[in-house]
Structure 1
Amino acid sequence: MKSWLILGASGHGRSLASVIRGRGDRIAAVGDRALSAEAGRTAAAEAFRNTDGSVPVMLDDDAPALDLALAESLSVTIAVGANGVRSRIAAGLLADERFSRLAGALVAASATVDATAVLGPLAQVCEHAHVGPLAQVGEAVIVNTGAIVEHDCRVGAGAHLAPGSVLLGAATVGREVFLGSGARVLPGIGVGDHAVLGAGAVATRQLDGMATYVGVPARRLTPTKGPAH
Structure 2
Amino acid sequence: MKKKLLIIGASGHGKVVADIALQMRKWQSIVFLDDNEDIKTVMGLDVVGKSTDASNYIQDHDIFIAIGNNAVRENIHRKLREEGASIPTLIHPNAIIGERVNLAFGTVIMAGVVINCCTTIGEGCIINTGSTIDHDNIIEDFAHISPGVHLAGTVKIGQGSWLGTGCIVGNNVSIVGDCILGAGAVVIKDVDQPGTYVGVPVRRIS
When normalised by structure 2's length, the TM-score is 0.92
Whole-angstrom CA distance in 1 between matches of 2:24 and 2:43: 14
Once the two structures are superposed, residues 38-58 of structure 1 have per-residue CA deviations (whole angstroms, 9 ceiling, x without a partner) of: xx21xxx1x332xxxxx33x2
Matched ranges for 1:198-213 at <5 A? 198-213=182-197
1:152 is aligned to 2:154: no
Q: Determine the C-alpha separation between the residues in 2 that align with 1:64 and 1:29.
A: 12
Whichever residue aligns with residue 124 of structure 1, its letter is V
Structure-2 residue corresponding to 1:77: 64
* Rounded Cα–Cα distance in structure 1 between residues aligned with 2:102 and 2:119: 6
Secondary structure of 1:169's partner? Answer: coil
3-state DSSP class of the match of 1:21?
helix
Q: Deviations over 1:181-201 (max 9, x none)?
A: 000111110001100111111
Amino acid at match of 2:20: V
Q: Equivalent residue for 2:33?
A: 31
Kindly name which structure, 1 or 2, has the bigger radius of gyration based on alpha carbons.
1
Gap regions ≥5 residues in structure 2: none
2-structure distance, mates of 1:12, 1:106: 13
The answer to whether residue 111 in structure 2 is matched with residue 127 in structure 1 is yes
Q: What's the secondary structure of 2:22's corresponding residue?
A: helix
Q: Distance in 1 between matches of 2:25 and 2:57?
A: 21
Look up the match of 2:43. 48
Q: Give 1:94 shift.
A: 1.8
1:109 Cα deviation (Å)? Answer: 0.7
More helix by share: 1
Deviations 1:21-65, CA, capped at 9 Å, x for gaps: 22234452101111x23xx21xxx1x332xxxxx33x22323433
Q: Which amino acid aligns with 2:179?
A: A
Task: Indicate the RMSD between aligned Cα atoms, in angstroms.
Answer: 1.7
| Cα distance in 1, alignment partners of residues 96 and 89 from structure 2 | 13
How much does 1:2 deviate?
Answer: 5.2
Question: CA offset at residue 209 of structure 1?
Answer: 3.4
| Separation (CA, whole Å) in 2 of partners of 1:178 and 1:78 | 17
Matched, 1:106 2:86: no
> 2:182–2:197: 8 Å Cα contact kept in structure 1?
yes
Q: Structure 1 unaligned runs (5+)?
A: 50-54, 223-229
Are 1:88 and 2:75 matched, yes or no?
yes
Structural mapping, 1:215-226, within 5 Å = 215-221=199-205
Q: Which has the higher strand share?
A: 2
- Indicate the residue corresponding to 2:49 in structure 1: 60
Q: 1:115 to 1:95 in 2, by over 3 A?
A: farther
Q: Which residue identity lines up with residue 48 of structure 2 in the other structure?
A: L
In the superposition, relative to structure 1, how do residues 109 and 31 fare at CA in structure 2: closer, same or farther (>3 Å)? same
CA distances 1:102-128 after superposition (whole Å, capped 9, x unpaired): 212111111112231111110110111
What is the aligned residue count? 204
- d(CA) in 2 for partners of 1:107, 1:134: 17
Superposition deviation, residue 15 in structure 1: 1.0
